[in-house]
Each structure stands twice: as structure tokens, then as C-alpha cells.
Structure 1
Amino acid sequence: MAAESTPAIPDPGTNGPRRRGKGRRRKARGTGRTALRATAWTAAGVVVLGGAGAGYLVFKLNGNLRSVDIDQALGGDRPTKIDNGSQNILVLGSDTRSGGNRKLGGGTDDGSARSDTAMIVHVHEGHRSADVVSIPRDTLIDRPACTGADGATHPAATGVMFNSAYSTGGAACAVKTVESLTGIRMDHYLEVDFSGFQQLVDDLGGVRVTTTRDIDDPQSHLHLRAGAHTLDGKQALGLVRTRHGVGDGSDLGRIQLQQAFVKALIDQVSHVGVLTSPKKLYDLADTATRAVTTDSGLGSVNSLMDFANGLKGISSSRVKMVTMPVRYDPADPNRVLLARSKARLVWNALRNDEPIPAAATEGTATGEADGVVGTGQRTGR
């Protein structure tokens, strides 16, 4: 597994939000200060935007937001908050497979909620760099007892897939499961749905990537020749979801594509002129706030703006992405098991706000999509 990506082609590796980069701020003409500021900083097609501007616009954007009171749901039975200036954020990409997501998701159309993408984003003290740890959805874990948003209690379960935590008890259960797995308290929770992700990429004007191999996956509706592409929202969604069109068809391979796309998105947003048009900026903020669900601590536009400002100094070259150390399940090649001693090195590094050591990911299971996707030549507007 590679340690970090090169500037030209981000290495998703296994050595790999609402999630923002910084654009230039421009004041709208007129007597009032109506300029809005947005930044995009994502993991797996997961993006958070904060906006600031005229009061009536902020009020409208606040009305778009959905939030979950994680603290109330989990109570005091949580890891101790680490007060060293760093932050840990659980970022999920969700697929209800209903409504706007129904025609995007494929698979079963039963309306159930699933977390198809999960990342722990660790922002280091000083907020100049970050580590991102992807959690394979097919990891077999022991899930703690959870209370769902509807108040229903779900007993603990052994040997279940990681993404079952979200489908069982929603955001609070997903957070509790990650905290149980890592021993680290999640400071924030961010979730983006697939239909919102697609629209957000379209509002950004697409994301530039380069593929080193052809990708042909009818299940995710993605067909790309090797070469440079500016992906629209539908194609970007297909890329972060494909697992049969390239590599070994595993979830680990898909994670590598997701990590590469995240870096491409960070790089793209930091170099395009999304702020040259107040209307374009408002459309972007409107889409983002409709697409995301947050913990209550980020449940307002002003809170999101403050959070985004704390991330604006982190470029794609300062984001290291790894996959949680796992090994293939000898009983089922479609499942993976936590490599506990290796994973402990990752969790200790995050807890102590230190770089993740290379030894943590050496010799662990990987997919076969490494290096398939990288950033393309930047395009401005």
C-alpha cells in the first residue's frame, strides 16, 4: 500500500465528509453584502458546504439542513473527547434506494437505508493536514446495542457487516459502532445521499479525472475509456459506486476509486472559479445543504461555515488516505475481517494526533484498482 499520492495522480492506495475546498470570495454588486462563501471538502463523494451572506438566504439554507442529536442519542457511554486541537469526523455516503436515489442505486429497491461509503476524517492540530481512514462496508464486526432515531432498541450483534449498523439504527448507531471499533470519539457526523452527491458534482461543473484503464460497469451505468474525462454527476456517482467494472470487483477496489475521486474533487474545487457568480454559488450551497445530514453541532449554516473555514487550508497533497487494515475472511471471499493488531496502530495514531505509520497497512488485504483513477488537468471557468 502506498503511503501517499503524488501531486499528479492521487494514490488511493490502502496506505484511503460535508467536505470542502476553498474558492475565492467575491462580493456581489449592490448596496447590501450578499456575497456567499462556499468551500467543498469531500471523502467518497461525500461533500459539506457552508454559506454566509444576507440573512434571508441563510434562513432559507438553514431550512434545508437535517441534523441528528448524536450526543443525546448516545448519552455518556462514549470514549473520552480528545482535546488536543484535532478533530475526528465520521463521513457516510448513504443510499436509501428510494425516492431520488432509487434509479441511482441499483440492487434491491426496498427503500431501506444503507451506508455504502464510510470514512473517518482526522483533521490534525492546526488544521493543515488530514488523514482519512476508509472502512470497508463488507467488514464483519461486532455491533453494539443501539437505539435508533425512532427510539427502538436493537440488541448487540456478532459477525455482521459494518454497514448494517446504519441500516439498523441510523446515524447514531453508525457513530456508536465506529466508536466501539476504534475507541475514539467522533466529534462530528456528516452524511450525504447519492442523489444530492450527483447534483452537487453537476453544480460544480464536473470533476476532472484521468483513468488508466477502461471502466465498463453496466450495474453502475459507467462506461469510460482510458484517458482524461470531466465527469458529470451521474458519471461521478457511477465511479464511486463501481466495483465490477475494474479491478477484482471487490469493495476494497471500489474504496481505492473513491479515495482517488475524493482527492480529484478537492483539487478541482480549490482551482475552479465557482465563486465568480453569486447565483452559481447560491445554487451550490442550496444543493449541498439539501444533500447533507449532520450532527446537531453542525446543524446550521453558520456552524458549517465555521467548520469549512477550519478546513480551507488543507490541500489534496496534505490529505493521506488509507483503508482500515483488514484481511480476507477465509470462510467467505466476499467478506473481510479486521486485522486487529494493524488497526490498533491506526487508532493509536489518530488518538495521539500522529501520522499513521506505514507498518499499519503493510501486508493487509487490498483491492486491485490502485492507480486506475487520478486527477486530470485542471480546467477553470
Structure 2
Amino acid sequence: MPAASPPPRTTRRRARRITIALVCVGAIGAAAYGLLSSHLPYKSVDVFEALGDDRPSAAPDSTGRTPLNILLIGSDTRSGDNAAYDAAGDQQIAGARSDTMMVVHLSADRRSATVVSIPRDTLAPRPPCPLRDGRWTPAARQATINMALGVGGVTCVVTTVEKLTDLRIDHVVQVDFVGFARLVDAIGGIEVTLPEPIDDPYSGLHLAAGSHLLNGEQALAFNRTRHGVGDGSDLARIGLQHQFLTALWHKLDAEQLLFDPVQLQRILRTAGSAVTVDSGLSSLDAILNLGTRLHDLSAQEVTFLTMPHAPSSADPNRVVPAQPRADQLWLQLRTDQPTTALDGPG
């Protein structure tokens, strides 16, 4: 059988050109990915460096793996673009408070997660907090926990939550009003179903009973509303936030948005500087790595709780951890055990 004749010279040239073009495109893409990954527009801060070693430790399981605790902070700052959300319209609300605060506990095997909301009106000891100029704020024996953000920034929130829970916080994500709305719009909205209508002139949320695809502005109002649900308290609002996060996780999981670097980068760029993270999450690679850890976690394996609490005897408008249930909950998370019926008021 005669040997096959070599391909025409023009064909070989074309093949070489295609190969070179593909290599160039790949190299440019890799370089662009690295460049964009290192210049994401959100803020990162060295949250933990100033706290030193006097912090709770993370106990590994029998395989050497450790749980992961992420602190989610919703800031009510009215600075910059957030001034539009000042109800008075004249920025009378100064400073910033962490009006939403959740500890997300990922089990050591990454097969389950527990999200615990800490009511914003919780009275708790506030340790001294380090400031950027090297000074420390004075400690407070009892202070409203959502004020820690205005006193000493994100680091002060972390040290206060660690003091309250004895849980080691590994990562922090802080989002303000504008950032939250942008993130929801970037992922195409979130669908929720309401058993009853919500009519809240304070947040501007007016929804009939039934299913709704919420855009960014509506989702923000949904998570802020309290006058239109339950007893009108912050505790009633927490229930809506848990419902929203459940729907959010369903969407992230269904569309694999945490595992697609192109989509994830687009979402993060949309949120921009309205998002603040600790320096350990300052790159796209770090966030993708975190998303990979959540790959096998379904929405059914995420439990939403509210820290056990009771009215404060000193101020009926404030709450305190309900003991011993609050300490039992934190102990279960600290030792990476399944949480039992320790939720809510009591």
C-alpha cells in the first residue's frame, strides 16, 4: 500500500497558524484572567492581623480537617451611593451599624452548613477593639452588638462576635445596601413565595401573596422590611432573611454560579466597592476555592437558626442570649456537632 502523500504546503501553513492563534488566545486569556483576578474592585481589609493570637482556636476533626466560620455583615451605612436609602432623605443617620449579622458554619467535612442570625439588638460584652492608628477602643461591659461596626470597623465586629460565641471566625464578607442590590441584579433576581402580602411603607415593599421574582431593589426592601411582617420587630425580619438566603442558595446551586470564574468575576465586578472582605478572600482564586468547598452542599443540608435570646431586664427593646441554650448552640458549632432544637426566643 503506498504511503500517504504529505498534506499540501498551504494546509500545513494553515494548521500552524491555527495552532499559534490558539496558543496566543490561551496565553492572552490566562494573562487577562490573572490580571483581572488580582484587580477585583471590591475592598479587602486585614481583619485578623491586629487581633493577635488571643482568639478562639479551631479544633480539627479526626481526619485533621477543621470547620469554617464565615461572618456575614449587612451594613446600614448611608455614605456614598447609600445616601439614597436614608428614610429622611438628608443623611440624618450617621455612621454605620451591622444591622444584619450571621455566622455561617461549614462542617469540617463540608457536607452541611448552619447559618445563625444574631439579632442586631443583642446586648453583649464588647472587647477593646484595635484601630488603624494603633490605638484601641475601650471595652464595654454591655453594648448593643450592631454598634461595634461604627466603633471599630469590621475587626471590632469580629472580636465582639468571637467573644460572644467563642467561635473562631475565618472569613468576613460585608455588604452595604448598594452592593446587595447590585449582587441580586447581577445574578438575575431571586424568586420568593409569600403566604401573605407584605405592605410596608417604611421599606417601600408592596407585594401580594404568591411568587415573585425580586430585583435588587425589591430584594433589599424584602430583607430590610419589618413593619410589614409579624410583630414588626427585627426578629420578624430575620425570618424573611432566612427565606431569602434559602432561595439564593437554590439559585447559586442550580446555575453553578460559584464555580464559574467568568460569571463569578462578572458578579463581583458588578458589586464593586460596595463589598468588603477579609484579605484571605481578596482574589478570585480564593473565592473560587471557597466555592469549590461548597460544591457538594445542597440547600437541604443548610440549617437556618436564630441565636436563642430573651428580652433584656434592663431594656425591653433589647435582647440578651438565652442561657443555657445560647451557649449550648455555640458549643455544638464549636465542636462541629449537629445542632439540636436551640433556635429563637425563650
Structure 2 counterpart SS, 1:333? coil
Q: Are 2:272 and 1:295 equivalent residues in the alignment?
A: no
**Partner residue in 1 for 2:237:** 254
Report if aligned partners of 2:261, 2:288 keep a CA contact under 8 Å in 1. Answer: no
**Partner residue in 2 for 1:102:** 83
Report if aligned partners of 1:198, 1:234 keep a CA contact under 8 Å in 2. Answer: yes
**Partner residue in 2 for 1:352:** 335
Identity %: 46
Count of residue pairs brought into register by the alignment = 316
Q: Are 2:263 and 1:286 equivalent residues in the alignment?
A: no
> CA separation of 1:59/1:212 partners in 2, compared to 1, >3 Å: closer, same or farther?
same
Q: Are 2:320 and 1:337 equivalent residues in the alignment?
A: yes
> CA separation of 1:250/1:187 partners in 2, compared to 1, >3 Å: closer, same or farther?
same
Q: Are 2:337 and 1:361 equivalent residues in the alignment?
A: no
Shift of 1:136: 0.4
**CA offsets per residue over residues 257-294 of structure 1, 9 Å max, x none?**
1011000111122224869x997665323124544212
Highest RCO, 1 vs 2 (Cα 8 Å, sep ≥ 6): 1
Q: Are 2:47 and 1:70 equivalent residues in the alignment?
A: yes
Mapped to 1, the partners of 2:175 and 2:147 lie a distance apart of 17
**Partner residue in 2 for 1:146:** 129
Report if aligned partners of 2:58, 2:334 keep a CA contact under 8 Å in 1. Answer: no
> CA separation of 1:217/1:58 partners in 2, compared to 1, >3 Å: closer, same or farther?
farther
Shift of 1:254: 0.7
**CA offsets per residue over residues 117-140 of structure 1, 9 Å max, x none?**
111111012212101111000011
Report if aligned partners of 1:191, 1:294 keep a CA contact under 8 Å in 2. Answer: yes
Greater fraction strand? 1
Report if aligned partners of 2:194, 2:211 keep a CA contact under 8 Å in 1. Answer: yes
> CA separation of 1:127/1:33 partners in 2, compared to 1, >3 Å: closer, same or farther?
farther
Report if aligned partners of 1:61, 1:286 keep a CA contact under 8 Å in 2. Answer: no
Shift of 1:165: 1.0
**Partner residue in 1 for 2:179:** 196
Q: Which moved more, 1:83-92 or 1:203-212?
A: 83-92
**Partner residue in 2 for 1:55:** 31
Q: Of 295, 314, 331, which aligns to 1:312?
A: 295
**Partner residue in 1 for 2:161:** 178
Mapped to 1, the partners of 2:120 and 2:292 lie a distance apart of 30
**Partner residue in 2 for 1:241:** 224
Greater fraction helix? 2
Mapped to 1, the partners of 2:190 and 2:227 lie a distance apart of 22
Q: Which moved more, 1:104-113 or 1:144-153?
A: 104-113
Q: Kindly report the root-mean-square deviation, in angstroms, between the aligned alpha carbons of the 2 structures.
A: 2.4
Q: Which moved more, 1:330-339 or 1:127-136?
A: 330-339
Shift of 1:150: 4.4
Mapped to 2, the partners of 1:173 and 1:289 lie a distance apart of 23
Q: Are 2:66 and 1:79 equivalent residues in the alignment?
A: no
Mapped to 2, the partners of 1:105 and 1:58 lie a distance apart of 39
**Partner residue in 2 for 1:268:** 251
Mapped to 1, the partners of 2:315 and 2:261 lie a distance apart of 52
> CA separation of 1:273/1:312 partners in 2, compared to 1, >3 Å: closer, same or farther?
closer
> CA separation of 1:272/1:298 partners in 2, compared to 1, >3 Å: closer, same or farther?
closer
Mapped to 1, the partners of 2:256 and 2:334 lie a distance apart of 37
Report if aligned partners of 1:82, 1:185 keep a CA contact under 8 Å in 2. Answer: no
**Partner residue in 2 for 1:157:** 140
Report if aligned partners of 1:250, 1:334 keep a CA contact under 8 Å in 2. Answer: no
Mapped to 2, the partners of 1:103 and 1:255 lie a distance apart of 23
**Partner residue in 1 for 2:11:** none
Structure 1 counterpart SS, 2:269? helix
TM-score by length of 1: 0.77
2:60 is aligned with what amino acid?
D
Shift of 1:167: 1.2
Structure 1 counterpart SS, 2:316? strand
> CA separation of 1:281/1:172 partners in 2, compared to 1, >3 Å: closer, same or farther?
closer
Shift of 1:59: 2.5
Mapped to 2, the partners of 1:351 and 1:274 lie a distance apart of 29
Q: Are 2:112 and 1:129 equivalent residues in the alignment?
A: yes
2:77 is aligned with what amino acid?
T
> CA separation of 1:68/1:83 partners in 2, compared to 1, >3 Å: closer, same or farther?
farther
Report if aligned partners of 1:65, 1:300 keep a CA contact under 8 Å in 2. Answer: no
Structure ID, larger Rg: 2
Q: 1:200-219 counterparts in 2 under 5 A?
A: 200-219=183-202
Structure 1 counterpart SS, 2:111? coil
Structure 2 counterpart SS, 1:304? helix
**CA offsets per residue over residues 25-77 of structure 1, 9 Å max, x none?**
xxxxx94459xxxxxxxxxxxxxxxxxx7432442343213222123110111
Mapped to 2, the partners of 1:133 and 1:308 lie a distance apart of 20
In structure 2, list runs of 5 or more residues that go unmatched. Answer: 1-20
1:97 is aligned with what amino acid?
R
Q: Which moved more, 1:84-93 or 1:204-213?
A: 84-93
Mapped to 1, the partners of 2:263 and 2:127 lie a distance apart of 44
